[in-house]
Amino acid sequence: MTHPISRLIDQFFSAQLGKYRLPVICLLSLFMVAGCDSSDETTVVHLNEPAGDIKSTPPGKPDSAKNKYQFGFDLRNSPQEDAAQYLPFLSYLEQETGYKFKLRFTSKNKSSEDDLGQGITQFAAVGATASIHATERYGAIPLVRGINSIGKAKYRSMIVVAPDSKLNNVEELRGKRFAFGSDNSTQGHLIPRIILLNKGIMLQDLGSYSYTGSHRNCANAVVSRKADACGMQDTLAVAMEEQGVLRILYTSDYYPSSGIVANKDVPPQVREKVRQALLNFDPKGRHKESLYHWDRTEMPNGFVATNEKDYQPLKEWMTKLGFLNPEEAS
């Protein structure tokens, strides 16, 4: 039986979805194709094809047609919500660059940075952790970082608990059940680990911990009482607290935000054209009407240019916590 507060989360993500007909039609077909997760195939959403033509494409076979590029992403909410946000955004990129883009879901047991580094995708929207991994392991090239709701190209994590939780500070998490998002998530894993370590808490000091795969799943673990607390995206945590679904226990410092990264083999002129289109993106102004819930993403105010040096503070934490080995961090 679905927990009543979990239903509130579902309502939070599905509100106003009916206004955006193209993503909904695509996604209905998408989940008829990809309903079983045991396959090694990956769903690719083609922006300009009828819904019935959405196909599953085997990994390792990127589209080789000229000026067609596959775009990957870290799962943050539900697959439906994430895709509904990215599809109109990719339509903008198509109009601005003249290139064709396909939205690609990462297959089971793979990561967005591996897909990018191995050339399965040519561009990807990823968190800082995945960006650093892609750069250090595969020579990927960061293009832009997202600008948050207060105009910073930085973001935070928040540790959240149930509204009626008796927990009042991070130190009280010792011996408690803690949920993370994806194990390669910056806001859902790395920054919460930094918070815990700064309070003297190691993983072995927790009662238990789990990786739920997304910020939404992390929140669900708390409201369904499967976890006492979780670390998650700041924008989503604030929205859920406003709805009375969760309570924010702790807010981290700011760290370099999520962004968009290119595979090293993307031609320089293509990279720069896409980078410029991203810098021209105006989600609060002239491009607002064509988007879906872009204000709930980690880049609600568009993008700024970036490079790998911007991520040095997080890279040092990743090395300290064992996310990077010394060879990768050198």
Closest CA to 90 of 81, 102, 76, 78: 102
Q: Per the structure block, which two tokens stand in for 311?
A: 């991520």
Phi, psi of 261 (to 5 degrees): -125, 150
Same domain, 118 and 263: yes
pLDDT at 47: 54
Looking at the structure, tell me whether residues 205 and 298 fall in a common domain. Answer: no
So what's the pLDDT on residue 128?
93
The residue type found at 307 is N
Band of residue 10 on the pLDDT scale cut at 50, 70, 90:
low
Print the domain residue range for 194: 157-253
Please indicate, yes or no, if residue 330 is contained in any of the structural domains.
Answer: no
* 112 and 32 part of one domain: yes
149-195 confidence digits (pLDDT tens): 889 999 999 999 999 999 999 999 999 999 999 898 999 999 999 99
Q: Could you tell me which residues come within 8 angstroms of residue 168 by beta carbon, excluding any fewer than 6 positions away?
A: 249
One domain, residues 144 and 204 = no
Rounded Cα distance, 34 and 105, in Å: 10
**With 70 as the cut, is the pLDDT of residue 100 above it?**
yes
203 and 247 share one domain: yes
Residue 312 confidence class, pLDDT cut points 50, 70, 90: very high
Q: Which of 253, 271, 303 is the last residue of a domain?
A: 253
In order of 46, 57, 120, the CA distances from 53 in angstroms are 8, 12, 20
Q: Coil, strand or helix: which one is 221?
A: helix
Which pLDDT value is given to residue 76?
A: 77
Let me know if residue 317 belongs to a domain. no
Residues 238 and 263 in one domain: no
Q: Which of 13-22, 29-38, 164-173, 256-265 has the lowest mean pLDDT?
A: 29-38
Could you tell me where the DSSP H helices lie in the chain? 4-14, 21-33, 79-97, 112-117, 128-138, 191-198, 215-223, 234-242, 268-280, 312-320, 326-329
Decide if 327 is inside a domain.
no
Q: Give yes or no: residues 132 and 23 share one domain.
A: yes
Number of other residues whose CB lies within 10 A of the CB of residue 138: 18
Query: Is residue 144 domain-shared with residue 162, that is, in the same domain?
Result: no
Same domain, 166 and 147: no
Compute the average pLDDT of residues 93-109.
92
Least confident interval from 117-121, 136-140, 161-165, 322-326: 322-326
Domain identity same for 280 and 139: yes
Greater confidence (272 vs 23) lies with 272
CATH number at residue 147: 3.40.190.10
Say if 326 falls within a structural domain: no
Same domain, 39 and 146: yes
Do 32 and 103 belong to one domain?
yes
| Res. 49: pLDDT tops 60 | no
Position 306 in a domain? yes
Pick the last residue of a domain from 238, 253, 268. 253
**Low-confidence winner among 2-6, 117-121, 191-195, 282-286 (lowest mean pLDDT):** 2-6
Q: Is 302 inside any structural domain?
A: yes
Q: Is the pLDDT of residue 40 over 50?
A: no
pLDDT in tens, 232-283: 999 889 999 999 999 999 999 999 999 999 999 999 999 999 999 999 999 9
> Helix, strand or coil for residue 312?
helix
Q: Is residue 201 part of a domain?
A: yes
Residue 179 φ/ψ, nearest 5 degrees: -110, 135
- Considering the domain boundaries, does residue 284 fall inside one? yes
Domain stops at, among 237, 253, 269? 253
Q: Which 3 state secondary structure label does DSSP give 146? A: strand
Report pTM.
0.76
Indicate the number of domains in the chain.
2
